Structure 1
Amino acid sequence: MEKLIVFLPLLGSFIAGVFGKVIGDRAAQVLTTGLLLVSAVLSIVTFKNVALDGNAYVATLFTWISSGDFTLSWALKIDTLTAVMLIVVTVVSSMVHLYSFGYMSEDKSKARFFSYLSLFTFMMLMLVTSDNLVQMFFGWEGVGLASYLLIGFWYHKESACAAAMKAFLVNRVADIGFALGIMGIFVLFGTVNFAEIFPAVPGLAEAQFSFLWFEGHALTIICLLLFIGAMGKSAQLGLHTWLPDAMEGPTPVSALIHAATMVTAGVFMLARMSPVFEFAPTALEVVTYVGAATAFFAATVGLTQFDIKRVIAYSTCSQLGYMFFAIGVSAYGGAIFHLMTHAFFKALLFLGAGSVIHAMHHEQDMRKMGGIYKLIPATYILMWIGSWALAGLPPFAGFFSKDLILEAAWADQTTHGNLAYWLGTAAAFMTAFYSWRLLIMTFHGNPRADKHTMDHVHESPMVMMIPLLVLAVGAVLSGWLGYSYFVGEVAERAAFWGDALFILPENDSVAAAHHVPTWVKLTPLVISVLGIVAAYVFYMFVPSLPETFVRIFRPVHAFLFNKWYFDELYDVLFVRPTKALGRVFWKGGDEAIIDAYGPNGAVSLTRVISAQVSKLQSGYVYHYAFAMLIGVVGLITWYIIGNAGQ
């Protein structure tokens, strides 16, 4: 069964990509979507068998690498952590496939698009089912490749090509850290198999790495390197700049990348490596600080954006920060719980935004929307559900998972845990504010689009609405249904997770979260409600307030609107120096030396010699007779000299 779950998307991708023109667009769409739906159904069955019934297992497919004493099998590790990810990836991906029937109906490259979607899904499934770090790295890099293809799908747009390249390069920078972390694991443990690494961790908890004049705690160094890899995939502060630009891809791509797949890979990887991170407290502290800073940073930027997809993209970045600081305080179950609930409501928001864009003739600027909630009421209600869940309000999914993370951060009773709680609470206020800002600007008020656009605003076709309804069910129910399993009492959590997650008893912040003071539980909820009230005041009751605030706090607004100037800073520090260095090597090295004395030099010398030799070809008989005479004289001279000593 697990083989079908993983390889059916690859089969669909291959057929659609290679034979798409033969079988036609419709057949390619139906085939890839049908196979994904089968994978989704089988994933649900697997979840029941593994997570609920406790039947975790490893399915070995074949020996992948054999070199001396080193042997590495290609195997599928199916435990509770994997089972959760299988449901999230296949359900969201299948809904994105189905949604794309309508959204991409006018595109001329449907088969190629669906092939890329299925390839992306296969790579993500390979990542989450990996039994060792090298196999995980294969899926990790495969996801990066597929994201490059999808973000740059409309390659005729220069902005899409630039965004795809940016995502690819930023992730390659982070992947150096991941690769070095894997190498460090192999040096320390002599293996890359999870089943051999995890039992050996306690015995190597005090091991040191020595390199040249540097010596440090081995597990801390390894975990920090792994975390750098996770920062790139999951767009944490500093390596986040690719995420908003990824909006250049089609909206279904945004939903797939930002909801359940690529951006959650880093969270999954750290959770999978929990037995190692638990013995590296300094690394966990760093993860907490970075996650909390990311949650706050992205929320501040989301307040000022006008592109509907970019607002949701920055909310993704912020929510990933919550997941990371949950891991930092050892609330691994809380991080995965929020990963799951977030997948449903964020995919719902992205696809809902796509429905709005579809209705508004591809308009994405919220300043050119407004007054359309009566024209597309179903989309409005579904977007409202997604926003309610994102804001963390009961009884929807985000309330259960996000509040648990904040409570766990407080319960950790550390400096970094307390900082994460307060930054996360501040981010909760901003999240609620920009979520309702989006709803009000998009659906309420006077229409700001031209009459032609408003006359043609219409609800999306049913093939686009069905995925929204399915995701809405997840956004409403997943938190309530999963709470006791993911983050409930110790015994229930232990039965659910089994050996998939490891937490030292003294680090169990999830257990402590159930006993925090009432004000700790209520503060994020009250703050979120205040954020919604503030959004109504600013954008519905007193619509002149935003402009007034921008005028009074113009430098602050400019700072936030320009995303804290990270892109400009990186342009000065990295992009321009790299281009200048490249130009030096190009002009001064490649052209002036290599080409000049290499192929170009050889060509020039050949031309000079040929020009001189060609002068001998005058066409006059007496010139040729003279040349023959010189040749004869030369031969006779050579003969006489050669035989002079005999």
Structure 2
Amino acid sequence: MNLLPLTFAFPLVGYFLLAFSRGRLSENLSALIGVGSVGLAALVAAWVGWNFHVAPPADGHLTIVLWQWMNVEGFAPNMALYLDGLSLTMLGVVTGVGFLIHLFASWYMRGEEGYSRFFAYTNLFIFSMLLLVLGDNLLLLYFGWEGVGLCSYLLIGFYYSERANGNAALKAFIVTRVGDVFMAFGLFILFMTLGTLDIQELLQKAPDVFASGDPLIVLATLALLGGAVGKSAQLPLQTWLADAMAGPTPVSALIHAATMVTAGVYLIARTHGLFLLAPEILHLVGIVGAVTLVLAGFAALVQTDIKRILAYSTMSQIGYMFLALGVGAWQPAIFHLMIHAFFKALLFLASGSVILACHHEQNIFKMGGLWKKIPLAYASFVVGGSALAALPLVTAGFYSKDEILWEAMASGHTYLLYAGLAGAFLTSIYTFRLIFITFHGEAHTEAHAGHGIAHNLPLAVLLVLSTFVGAMIVPPLAGVLPESVGHAGGEAKHSLEITSGAIAIAGILLAALLFLGKRSFVNGLAKSAPGRFFGTWWYHAWGFDWLYDLIFVKPYLLLTRLLRRDPFDQAIGLIPMLARGGNLALSITENGRLRWYAASIVGGAVLLLGALLLA
């Protein structure tokens, strides 16, 4: 267990070696350091996990204090690591899936300018995410939280020579910072009321200090939720995620599968005891997730960029996790988080293989007929897409998503269940729309298959984990997160499984009917007046960017134009102007003429006498 600090020390060392090399290292050496550091972290994580399993620590958790961070008037947070079943699960996802993404990236990024810079950023990303999930206090967690935000900015804007990429990076940075500010407010409230930011102490003290529904705990959890929706791209701070596709495809896999977007889910699960004291906010978590998953599903239906479709699917799947958290299905939420990391990393890496095979083409309508040319990418999309659509029995996604739907039903939140089922139907349609248009039909471009172990191994491993094999990995969450209300199941659960499975299959069949062949019905529908209206509306993600531009961006720009000549600055500038004017006026009197001086003395004396007489 004492090897635990090495899990984030290796990526940090890798970052420093690559960053200070200033691009002088060869691609092979850069890949060895970048991939190797995360691989070593994954090996250490596997060793720690094995020891945790065979020799569980007392009370089911382990705390390793590295040093005291600061001590200011009783505020003495430690630089300490906390390992339990939840953080161990996240540790495995971040290092394991992160290593496979790094390995694939060593193939994908070959020949790109800034090869070593790319791995420096990704190593720092892994380091920050590990601090986030292993920190035993909210201050250390927040440090990692801000670290992944910084790295996301660097990686999304990796191709900085194109202005649009820089704008996408800036957008992600600003929107997530809005959530981070809310989260900071939450930390302030918790520290002022409970006197600590240690997570376990907070969970112990909160029930003694706050009654259920207390305004302060409601405000604190609402602020934490603000931070969570920012990082996890949920309504209303979801607008940055699709534009984040401007970064290299392995970056999309890293952000969307193993790291950043899952941080909000982890935060709520880790502080679940606080949210249980604010049932209104916990219910709001479920509503946010339900609305987001449906809105993202409709947006994905009409996208043409292969990566943006997957981006909206990520938004939707994170919505399922928030829905699960909102109904108290803590363990199913983390289970789906893990399964989602498997199949979403597979889909993004396979999309990277497709993009390179098609000479950096990302429009699915300019592809077609690729299933024979790139069979491994096709198989990855079929398996990963089936897991995303929750195809019954054979895919991992079915088992995790079905648990969430059952918990929504068992908790009595019927409308959340219906939202989840509607989202499942939409997911099947847009996922297989993507597969059918990209890999079937008439070919519109030449393609060449990727090769090499760095390309094939990550896809093969994630492909297996996206099947029912991945569902056999059970996160060790017993005793860490509360049991769900519908844990027992029964005939009602089996009925729901059949229903959800039938919905998934129906969506796939409908997608085949609509998008295989000439697609005449869909094309005619798209050209109709309602089709153009809804197609445009959904393509622009329900117009949230337009709305925020109208409410926030344009007034801000107007204010900057009005204050271009800052009136306050000009008012303050009057002081030196008066001083200079007074100096000029007095300097005129110093002319060296005796009569002028005598007259000035007499005039001054007259003024003084006049003042005395009037007084």
TM-score, with length taken from structure 1:
0.86
Q: What's the secondary structure of 1:422's corresponding residue? A: helix
Question: How far apart in 1 are the matches of 2:518 and 2:297?
Answer: 23
Question: How far apart in 2 are the matches of 1:163 and 1:549?
Answer: 32
Which residue of 1 is the match for residue 436 of structure 2? Answer: 440
Q: Does 1:323 align with 2:321?
A: yes
Which residue of 2 is the match for residue 492 of structure 1? Answer: none
Which residue of 2 is the match for residue 560 of structure 1? Answer: 538
Q: What's the secondary structure of 2:96's corresponding residue? A: helix
4+ residue runs over 6 A deviation: 630-634
Question: How far apart in 2 are the matches of 1:318 and 1:598?
Answer: 58
Deviation, structure 1 residue 325: 0.7
Deviation, structure 1 residue 100: 1.3
Which residue of 1 is the match for residue 122 of structure 2? Answer: 117
Deviation, structure 1 residue 537: 0.5
Q: Does 1:146 align with 2:151?
A: yes
Question: How far apart in 2 are the matches of 1:359 and 1:590?
Answer: 58
Q: Does 1:287 align with 2:301?
A: no
Q: Does 1:361 align with 2:359?
A: yes
Deviation, structure 1 residue 33: 0.8
Q: Does 1:34 align with 2:39?
A: no
Deviation, structure 1 residue 633: 9.1
Q: What's the secondary structure of 2:200's corresponding residue? A: helix
Which residue of 2 is the match for residue 528 of structure 1? Answer: 504
Please point out which of 209, 227, 230 is paired with 1:229: 227
Deviations 1:565-622 (A, max 9, x none): 111011101110111112222333477556x6599x79x979x99xxx9xxxxxxxxx
Q: Which residues in structure 2 correspond to 1:2-81 (within 5 Å)?
A: 2-51=4-53, 53-55=55-57, 56-81=61-86
Please point out which of 407, 419, 425 is paired with 1:423: 419
Q: Which residues in structure 2 correspond to 1:141-540 (within 5 Å)?
A: 141-206=146-211, 217-393=215-391, 394-413=393-412, 417-449=413-445, 454=446, 456-477=447-468, 479-482=470-473, 485-486=474-475, 496-502=476-482, 508-513=484-489, 516-540=492-516
Check whether the contact 1:244–1:313 (CA below 8 A) recurs between aligned residues.
yes
Say if 1:17 and 1:548 are closer, same or farther in 2 by CA, change over 3 A. same
Please point out which of 555, 562, 585 is paired with 1:584: 562
Question: How far apart in 2 are the matches of 1:71 and 1:462?
Answer: 48
Deviation, structure 1 residue 238: 1.0
Question: How far apart in 1 are the matches of 2:293 and 2:250?
Answer: 24
Which segment is superposed worse, 128-137 or 539-548? 539-548
Query: 1:176 is matched by which residue type in structure 2?
Result: V
Q: What's the secondary structure of 1:19's corresponding residue? A: coil
Deviations 1:230-287 (A, max 9, x none): 0000000110000000000010100000111000000000000012112221111101
Which residue of 1 is the match for residue 613 of structure 2? Answer: none
Deviation, structure 1 residue 631: 7.5
Which residue of 1 is the match for residue 134 of structure 2? Answer: 129
Question: How far apart in 1 are the matches of 2:306 and 2:387?
Answer: 17
Question: How far apart in 1 are the matches of 2:297 and 2:356?
Answer: 26
Question: How far apart in 2 are the matches of 1:169 and 1:116?
Answer: 19
Q: What's the secondary structure of 1:107's corresponding residue? A: coil
Question: How far apart in 2 are the matches of 1:318 and 1:235?
Answer: 10
Say if 1:605 and 1:18 are closer, same or farther in 2 by CA, change over 3 A. farther
Say if 1:180 and 1:502 are closer, same or farther in 2 by CA, change over 3 A. farther
Deviation, structure 1 residue 447: 1.2
Deviation, structure 1 residue 32: 1.8
Question: How far apart in 2 are the matches of 1:529 and 1:303?
Answer: 17
Question: How far apart in 2 are the matches of 1:564 and 1:396?
Answer: 31
Say if 1:140 and 1:51 are closer, same or farther in 2 by CA, change over 3 A. farther
Deviations 1:185-237 (A, max 9, x none): 112211111221112232234178xxxxxxx5332222111111100000001
Deviations 1:431-477 (A, max 9, x none): 1111111111111100123xxxx1x5333443222211121122124
Q: Does 1:97 align with 2:102?
A: yes
Say if 1:461 and 1:363 are closer, same or farther in 2 by CA, change over 3 A. farther
Check whether the contact 2:339–2:471 (CA below 8 A) recurs between aligned residues.
no
Check whether the contact 2:385–2:431 (CA below 8 A) recurs between aligned residues.
yes
Which residue of 2 is the match for residue 619 of structure 1? Answer: none
Question: How far apart in 1 are the matches of 2:14 and 2:574?
Answer: 51
Unaligned 5+ segments in structure 2 are 599-615
Please point out which of 545, 549, 560 is paired with 2:525: 549
Q: What's the secondary structure of 1:75's corresponding residue? A: strand
Question: How far apart in 1 are the matches of 2:420 and 2:301?
Answer: 15
Deviation, structure 1 residue 480: 2.8
Question: How far apart in 2 are the matches of 1:260 and 1:204?
Answer: 36
Question: How far apart in 2 are the matches of 1:53 and 1:319?
Answer: 34
Unaligned 5+ segments in structure 1 are 209-215, 487-495, 614-629, 638-646
Which residue of 2 is the match for residue 491 of structure 1? Answer: none
Say if 1:582 and 1:379 are closer, same or farther in 2 by CA, change over 3 A. same
Query: 1:536 is matched by which residue type in structure 2?
Result: A
Q: What's the secondary structure of 2:23's corresponding residue? A: helix
Which residue of 2 is the match for residue 572 of structure 1? Answer: 550
Question: How far apart in 2 are the matches of 1:333 and 1:546?
Answer: 40
Check whether the contact 1:206–1:218 (CA below 8 A) recurs between aligned residues.
no
Say if 1:418 and 1:52 are closer, same or farther in 2 by CA, change over 3 A. farther
Quick one: percent identity of the two aligned structures?
39
Question: How far apart in 1 are the matches of 2:25 and 2:246?
Answer: 29
Say if 1:286 and 1:512 are closer, same or farther in 2 by CA, change over 3 A. farther
Query: 1:580 is matched by which residue type in structure 2?
Result: L
Question: How far apart in 1 are the matches of 2:269 and 2:46?
Answer: 21
Query: 1:562 is matched by which residue type in structure 2?
Result: H
Deviations 1:61-89 (A, max 9, x none): 00001012221111000111011001100
Deviation, structure 1 residue 52: 6.2
Which segment is superposed worse, 151-160 or 93-102? 93-102
Check whether the contact 2:212–2:277 (CA below 8 A) recurs between aligned residues.
no
TM-score, with length taken from structure 2:
0.90
Check whether the contact 1:151–1:249 (CA below 8 A) recurs between aligned residues.
yes
Deviation, structure 1 residue 53: 4.5
Q: Which residues in structure 2 correspond to 1:594-613 (within 5 Å)?
A: none
Say if 1:514 and 1:260 are closer, same or farther in 2 by CA, change over 3 A. farther
Check whether the contact 1:408–1:512 (CA below 8 A) recurs between aligned residues.
no
CA RMSD of aligned residues (A): 2.7
Question: How far apart in 2 are the matches of 1:21 and 1:434?
Answer: 41
